[in-house]
Amino acid sequence: MSEREAPDRPVFTVEPWCVREPELRLDRLAQTEAVFALSNGHLGMRGNLDEGEPHGMPGTYLNSFYEQRPLPQAELAYGTPESGQTVINVTNGKVIRLLVDDEPFDVRYGRVHHHERVLDMRAGTLTRTVEWTSPTDRRVKITSVRMVSLPQRAVAAILYEVEPVGAAVRVVAQSELVANEALPDGQRDPRASATLEDPLVGEEHVANGTKVLLLHRTRKSGLRMAAGMAHHIDGPESMAVETESAPDVGRLTVATRLEPGQKLRIVKYIAYGWSSQRSRPALHDQVVGALAGARQTGWDGLLREQRAYLDDFWCGADIEVEGDAEIQQAVRFALFHVLQAGARAERRMIPAKGLTGPGYDGHTFWDTEMFVLPVLTYTHPDAAADALAWRHMTLPLALERAAQLGLRGAAFPWRTIRGHECSGYWPAGTAAFHVNAAIADAVVRYVDATRDERFEREIGLEILVHTARLWRSLGHHDVGGVFRIDGVTGPDEYSAVVDNNVYTNLMARRNLEAAADTAMRHPDLADRLGVDSEEAASWRDAAAAMVVPYDDRLGVHPQSENFTNHARWDFAATKPDHYPLLLNYPYFDLYRKQVVKQADLVLALHACGDAFTIDQKTRDFEYYEGLTVRDSSLSAQTQAVVAAEVGHLELAHDYLGETALVDLHDLNRNTRDGLHIASMAGAWSGIVAGFGGMRAGDGRLRFAPRLPGGISHVSFRLRYRGNRLKVSVTAEEARYELLDGPGLKLWHHDEPVTLADEPVELPIPPLQPRPAPSQPPGREPAPRRIDPHARTL
């Protein structure tokens, strides 16, 4: 089976507002645990079965709660970090075990008559229903509903119900907190996380009534966490209830007999807190308080709060698609998980996997600012501001890192949890400075979309100034006066330490210009940061003289200087099972060939589109289609957006399918380690920036919508400068509607439009079709549009 083939049998049904697993697939358990993960950006719970076993990978995570681990190097090198940070599986509060007439409920034994799980993206809940007959022939129906609260960030809750089917049964339910769970072994794939055994040391355990509290600290990083649970129990009068605790386990046990028609109903409230500074008593009290708040709200109140929060989100974020039901489901699934990843992170990072698994050790990368924050900026801007505020909090470490590398300004880490560089791969951890530009670009985008002057003064300006200083220090004016940035690694990880990467240079140019402009708007703050007119002028000079390589012979932009002079990779001789290439070929061979892991030059066409003519975009896109193997899940979304812009609408649809379905179809066979949050954010980008043609900047909101043949209608909602608007697109026309706000001016295919009380409908200009470009053999995206007249063999 090739890497991008879907499973033989669909795991989930296709529905517009939910993800439903109609039968339990033990062979897909790890994948479904990630898909069914619930999170709010602070607390994340994988979709493990309530009884804890079987599992693919148990997982409960607190944002930025990590353990230190060594980063062994074959040869020590200056500037390479010696230790890393790995997210850890914290105390598991999901577990509710069940015994039926002394037989443990386990789907691997007895008979499962019915098993269904449903992730409801409007309610924000995961519901499971099971009918099971034990090995001793006792049949029960079990229903659980799980949620991680978006309004109450420390709280999760579970409704668990058991009822007999047919005859009476004796049941024992055990609700648990479990720390230091055994985890599966690590994998050879570097995308998988490091495995740490028993990272938590018990400090306190308390059992009182129906409440249990466990406190732990990490062995090396010195972080402290607390987890607590409280219960509301309804059932027959003759119930026995007791609680107990030990350093790594807390348990509430309920025993009763259920007659036909009776039901045992347990509502489990769970709360978490952690800190690197607060005392054990303070964390204890924090969790007790969170549990009290949850119990006061009650189960029904928590459901109402959750639905209200999500209703408000969908009012400004929903996307409707007609003609491709899989894409409709996938884009809402993507938006739901992007929201979960950042909604309540509140000045902590947004990891590449969110809080759905331990992949990439739980680190954040430039992916967040480049791909995730655009979605949040236009749908949930407060979350985007919080993510950038976290970067600002780590600025002192970025300043230290730049100084260590002999540079001015700030060098933000390639991968991190708390702001320290955690990459032992030096071409990225030392040379991939474009992370700075992605962060600066996200600052500029957020301020443009919100006009948040306070954010610009308190956070944005300082980030822009220090990132601009980095570029001015890193680059130099050569003897001809042009400004060069040599020896850097761009987004494509199959090229490294190159001169004048086009994407990096164009993004640096934007960073330098934005820093100078923002310093001019806030001269008082700029003065405090030591920015004078001479420094700001040097930024503008560097931006104006920035090198942007161009190959006149081929009529395209080389990804970096001399890239188009390299030998092309021998794609024809590359076996299908040798992808990803980085797992089968030495980096030195990849570095000296024309082969692209992920969109790099093509990303520049999207992110810095004003730097290219439409003819240049078309030629560049088609050239790099033949070189890009998409060994990174980040590539397809960018290819979708640019394919749509240059007129390859069907190809854009194909790439949209790949980025949107990466986890629902487990296309890369690594969803078990957690969802690809940035790739799923690309489902939004592929529709809004691709088929909607949305571009924004300098107060200009522009659209150039066009649809592929396989999609008959698209509508999307977004927020911009205090306005909430809806854009609807068919093959013939676009409709722009102001849902609320003061009104705004926008552009439709370069035609200015004033949007106020009444919707505006405008025709879509015709498109001249072009021959579709080819991809490396075997790396073509799966087609989305099926010819209804094609014969099936």
pLDDT per position as a tens digit, 125-168? 999 999 999 999 999 999 999 999 999 999 999 999 999 999 99
| pLDDT tens column, 507-518 | 999 999 999 999
* Alpha carbon distances (Å) from 426 to 84, 190, 195, 473, 497: 13, 15, 22, 20, 10
**Tens digit of each residue's pLDDT (9 = 90 or more) over 246-276:** 999 999 999 999 999 999 999 999 999 999 9
Tell me which H or E stretch contains 374: helix 373-379
Q: Would you give the DSSP letter of residue 750?
A: T
Q: At what angle are helices 395-404 and 461-474 packed, to 10 degrees? A: 10
CA 312 to chain CA mean position, Å: 21
* Cβ atoms 622, 291 nearer than 8 A: no
Please count the other Cβ atoms lying within 10 Å of the Cβ belonging to residue 356.
Answer: 30
Determine contact, residues 67/88, Cβ cutoff 8 Å.
yes
What percent of the chain stands above pLDDT 90?
92
33 burial (CB, 10 Å; 0-12 / 13-18 / 19+) is: buried
Q: Which residues contact 480 (CB under 8 A, 6 or more apart)?
A: none
**CA–CA separation, 485 and 499 (whole Å):** 6
pLDDT in tens, 170-212: 999 999 999 999 888 754 444 444 447 889 999 999 999 999 9
pLDDT grade, residue 1 (50/70/90)? very low
Whether 582 and 597 have beta carbons less than 8 Å apart is answered as yes
For residue 479, give the 3-state DSSP assignment.
Answer: coil
Distance CA 655, CA 439 (A): 26
Percent of the chain past pLDDT 70, that is, above it, reads 96
- Residues 329-365 have pLDDT tens digits of 999 999 999 999 999 999 999 999 999 999 999 999 9
- What average pLDDT score do residues 629-641 get? 97
Three-state DSSP at 162 gives strand
- Token code pair at residue 703: 């659209």
Residue 682 has pLDDT above 60, yes or no: yes
DSSP string, 239-273: -EEEEEEETTEEEEEEEEEE-TT--EEEEEEEEEE
pLDDT digit string, tens, across residues 579-616:
999 999 999 999 999 999 999 999 999 999 999 999 99
Measured CA distances, 673 to 33, 57, 333 (Å): 9, 8, 18
Q: How far apart are the first and last CA of the chain?
A: 20
* pTM reported for the whole predicted model: 0.96
- Provide the pLDDT confidence category of residue 74 given band limits of 50, 70 and 90: low
Q: Is 421 a catalytic residue?
A: no
Question: Phi/psi of residue 419, each to 5°?
Answer: 110, -10
Enumerate residues 6+ apart whose C-beta is below 8 A from 793: none
Decide if pLDDT at 50 tops 80: yes
Of 41, 34, 9, the residue nearest 19 (C-alpha) = 34
Lowest mean pLDDT among 116-120, 429-433, 472-476: 429-433
Give the HSE-up count for residue 650: Cα atoms under 13 Å, Cβ half-sphere: 15
Q: Is it true that the peptide bond before 54 is cis, omega within 30 degrees of 0?
A: yes
Which of 181, 456, 462, 493 is flagged as catalytic? 493
Phi and psi of 83, rounded to 5°?
-140, 155
In the predicted structure, residue 479 carries a pLDDT above the cut 50: yes
Task: Please give the pLDDT value at position 188.
Answer: 45
Phi, psi of 123 (to 5 degrees): -85, -25
Are 87 and 417 a contacting pair, CB within 8 Å? yes
Residue 505 neighbours by CB under 8 Å, 6+ apart: 485, 546, 547, 548
